[in-house]
Amino acid sequence: MIFDRKQLRKYFVMGSQNCVRAPGMLLEEAARSGITAFQFREKGPGSVFGGDKIRLGKRFRDICKRYNIPFIINDDIELIDFLEADGIHLGQQDAKADEIRAKYPDLIIGLSVSNMEEAKSPQIEYADYLGAGPVFWTATKVDAKQATGVEWIEQLRVLYPDKPIVGIGGIKPENAQSVLEAGADGVAIISAITRSKNVQETIDQL
C-alpha cells in the first residue's frame, strides 16, 4: 500500500487487552466510522500469544483490507509476512528501521521518538512517519515515558518540516486539536476509542 500522510489523521491502535467488548466488532465499527489507519498492538497484561495472536491479527487484517485502511503491526516483525501487513511500528527497543527497510522496500515503517536524542537518530531517515509522545499522561502503556506536552510536536516539526508525524498518548476529542495545531499530521488513539460509549461520535469529534 502506498503511504500517504493523510492516513495518520485518525490512527487507531488496539489489541484485545484494550477492549471491553469483542475486538473484531469494535474494529469493524471504528473502520466504518472513519479511522484512517490501524495498528495491531497485542501487548501487555491480558493479551494473547502464538496461534491466538495470529488468528486475531488475520481477522483485523481482513477488516482493514475491506475498508482500505493500512494494517500496521506493532513490534512483531515476524508477523509482517504471516499477516501480509502494510506496515510495522518500531520503538527504540525494537528492530532497526534500516534493516527492515532493506528487507521490505515498500513497507510502511513508523518509528517512536520521545526525546531529542531519539529525534537525532540516523534511523529516522528510514521511517515513513514518526510516532511522537506520549504527548499527554496515559494509563494505557505501563512503561510509557513522561508526557512530553504538545511542545514536543512543535520541536519535531521544526527539526523535520516534511516528515509525517503522529502524536500518541492521552489523546482524546478534547485535546486532539492542540496536537494538530502543534504540527502533527494526525492523532494515534487507544483508550478514547476502546472506551468510547459512541465510537462514531468519538471518531467524528477527533
Ligand X SMILES: Cc1ncsc1CCOP(=O)(O)O
**Binding-site annotation: residue ranges:** 39-43, 74-75, 94, 112, 138-141, 170, 190-191
Asked whether 149 and 135 are in contact (CB, 8 A), the reply is yes
Q: Which of 5, 141, 157, 172 is catalytic?
A: 141
Sign of the dihedral through C-alpha 190, 64, 130, 87: positive
- How many other β-carbons are positioned within 10 Å of the β-carbon of residue 79? 20
Q: What nine digits make up the cell of 194?
A: 476502546
Annotated catalytic residue 55: no
Nearer to ligand LCLJCK34, 88 or 198 (CB): 88
Please select the residue that binds ligand LCLJCK34; options are 9, 10, 41, 61, rule is CB under 6 A.
41
By the 8 A CB rule, do 158 and 165 touch?
no
Q: Strand, coil or helix: what is 88?
A: strand
| Binding region for ligand X (CB under 6 A) out of 47-55, 57-65, 99-107, 131-139 | 131-139
Show the site string, 156-185: x = touches ligand LCLJCK34 by CB under 6 A, - = not: ----------x-x-----------------
Q: Which residues does residue 166 pair with via DSSP β-bridges, in sequence order?
A: 131, 186
- CA distances to 8, 38, 121 from 190, rounded to whole Å, are 14, 10, 27
Q: Out of ligand X, Mg ion, ligand LCLJCK34, none, which partner does residue 140 contact, by CB within 5 to 8 A per kind?
A: ligand X
Instruction: Phi first, then psi: give them for residue 130, nearest 5 degrees.
Output: -110, 135
Nearest CB to ligand X, comparing residues 23 and 169: 169
* 140: contact with ligand X by CB under 6 A: yes
Show the cell assigned to 88: 510495522
Please identify every residue annotated as catalytic.
41, 112, 141
Name the residues that contact ligand LCLJCK34, by CB under 6 A: 13, 39, 41, 43, 74-75, 89, 91, 94, 110, 112, 131, 141, 166, 168, 188
